[in-house]
């Protein structure tokens, strides 16, 4: 673990849609503080997340199991942690 990493309480929330027969996500909305960022697909989501990466430590994701399942087509989850509640 990087001891120089500065953590804060900033969190974002992601809501996204499943597209039938697609290996990508559909429309998504990312709320951070009082801002709403919208896009379509993982590529646009990754660009938005990268722009916020120095500010945000946590992203709450709706339907995380499906999100991770589809995201495996784009990123490697080896040694990554995800936490979910029963919802």
pLDDT recorded at residue 1? 44
- Alpha helix (H) residue ranges in the chain: 41-52, 64-71
Helix (H, G, I), strand (E, B) or coil at 8: coil
pLDDT recorded at residue 86? 60
43, two tokens: 């590529």
47, two tokens: 């660009």
Our CA dihedral for 22, 24, 29, 32, rounded to 10 degrees, sits at 160
Over the chain (87 residues), what is each successive 10-residue block's mean pLDDT? Answer: 55 91 94 91 91 80 87 84 63
Please check whether residue 51 is in contact with residue 45, taking contact to mean a CB–CB distance below 8 angstroms: no
pLDDT recorded at residue 49? 86
pLDDT recorded at residue 68? 85
pLDDT recorded at residue 5? 53
The model's pTM = 0.74
């Amino acid at each position: 673990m990087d001891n120089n990493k500065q953590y804060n309480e900033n969190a974002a929330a992601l809501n996204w849609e499943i597209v039938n027969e697609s290996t990508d996500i559909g429309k998504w909305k990312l709320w951070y503080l009082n801002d709403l960022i919208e896009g379509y697909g993982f590529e646009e989501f990754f660009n938005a997340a990268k722009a916020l990466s120095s500010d945000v430590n946590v992203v709450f994701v709706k339907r995380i199991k499906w999100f991770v399942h589809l995201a495996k087509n784009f990123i490697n989850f080896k040694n990554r942690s995800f936490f979910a509640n029963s919802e």
